[in-house]
Amino acid sequence: MNLSMPAHLATGYTSAAQKARVVSEAWARDNLYCPNCQSPSLDPSPNNTAAFDFVCPSCALRAQLKSKSSPIADRIVDAAYEAMRRAILEDRTPNLYALRYDKSYWQVRDLILVPHFAFSLSAIEARPPLSPSARRAGWVGCNIVLRNIPADVKLPLVSAGILVPPSQVRDSFHRLKPLEEISPRERGWTLDVLRIVRSLSKDEFSNDDVYAFAPRLEQLHPNNRHVRDKIRQQLQVLRDRGFLTQVRRGVWALK
């Protein structure tokens, strides 16, 4: 992976957004690789394809690229809220590559991958509708809320200008793939409980430690009135998927 971006492609464009799009897409075409198989590259999607930008020529993994010159923080602007909501529930979200570059030198600084099975409804939020005077008055976009995605499933490919070996990225991706086996609606619970478990910053924890977050989970899942039962169930799911070990009844350890 070459961290230098093809800055010469920006020549002839006056809009900063156009420059960023042309340069970052060209860089991605030449440098992104598939995390799911051994393909060293991804192909651009056909023109006018909605929802994803690249596809793996070997395993058909779909990917979307979001690039910016500012730090990758809590939120990434995405498309229509309802379309993203349906895509999550129907398990159609593409894998997300989030890229940060230094616009002074056109160098890649950070690149993270969020697998498609890492998205839940709590990972998106609606933006305010466009004003009545806007061309698409009333349209509601969404943000991807990265802080609501467990740290486990935000895989670094480049961190502060340092490459992570592709073999390590692929190993991490495949370690997470058991999450793909969970139905999209149930997966939201699993991811939310995993995020809470990671936030405890404990190698070993109890059911009560997670129960303390029941009010927050009630807000995220208002249709479930048996939150403690659901927490216990999801801890067992995480155990069965290889994320936790059960030390004894009601006590768990991170793997």
Q: Are strands 162-163 and 155-159 parallel, antiparallel or unpaired?
A: antiparallel
Considering the domain boundaries, does residue 37 fall inside one?
yes
In the prediction, which pLDDT does 224 show? Answer: 80
From residue 100, alpha-carbon distances to 75, 155, 188, 194, 205 in Å are 13, 14, 27, 26, 35
| Residue 40 shares a structural domain with residue 113 | yes
| Residue 58 shares a structural domain with residue 157 | yes
Considering the domain boundaries, does residue 2 fall inside one?
no
| Residue 50 shares a structural domain with residue 156 | yes
Residue 201 vs residue 47, higher pLDDT: 201
Residue 39: is it exposed, middle or buried by C-beta count within 10 angstroms (0-12/13-18/19+)?
middle
| Residue 203 shares a structural domain with residue 153 | no
| Residue 155 shares a structural domain with residue 210 | no
Could you say which of 120, 142, 176 is where a domain stops?
Answer: 176
- Please compute the mean of the pLDDT values over residues 13-33 and round it to a whole number: 93
Could you say which of 124, 146, 176 is where a domain stops?
Answer: 176
pLDDT 10s digits, 129-187 = 999 888 888 999 999 999 999 988 999 999 999 999 999 999 999 999 999 999 988 99
CB atoms within 10 A of CB 126: 14
| Residue 36 shares a structural domain with residue 146 | yes
| Residue 108 shares a structural domain with residue 223 | no
Could you say which of 142, 176, 210 is where a domain stops?
Answer: 176
Q: Percent of the chain, pLDDT > 90?
A: 78
| Residue 170 shares a structural domain with residue 191 | no
- pLDDT over 70 at 48, yes or no: no
| Residue 80 shares a structural domain with residue 100 | yes
| Residue 170 shares a structural domain with residue 196 | no
Q: What is the mean pLDDT of the chain?
A: 93
Query: How many structural domains are present in the chain?
Result: 2
Considering the domain boundaries, does residue 63 fall inside one?
yes
Considering the domain boundaries, does residue 1 fall inside one?
no
CATH code, domain with 246 = 1.10.10.10
Closest CA to 122 of 163, 172, 77, 84: 84
In the prediction, which pLDDT does 14 show? Answer: 87
CATH code, domain with 150 = 3.40.210.30
| Residue 164 shares a structural domain with residue 204 | no
Residue 225: is it exposed, middle or buried by C-beta count within 10 angstroms (0-12/13-18/19+)?
exposed
Please tell me the least confidently modeled range out of 85-94, 123-132, 216-225: 216-225
CB atoms within 10 A of CB 245: 13
In the prediction, which pLDDT does 74 show? Answer: 87
Considering the domain boundaries, does residue 249 fall inside one?
yes
| Residue 46 shares a structural domain with residue 120 | yes
CA distance 23 to 10: 6
Pair of tokens at residue 46: 């056909």
User: What range defines the domain where residue 191 resides?
Assistant: 185-254
In the prediction, which pLDDT does 253 show? Answer: 96
Considering the domain boundaries, does residue 23 fall inside one?
yes
- pLDDT over 90 at 47, yes or no: no
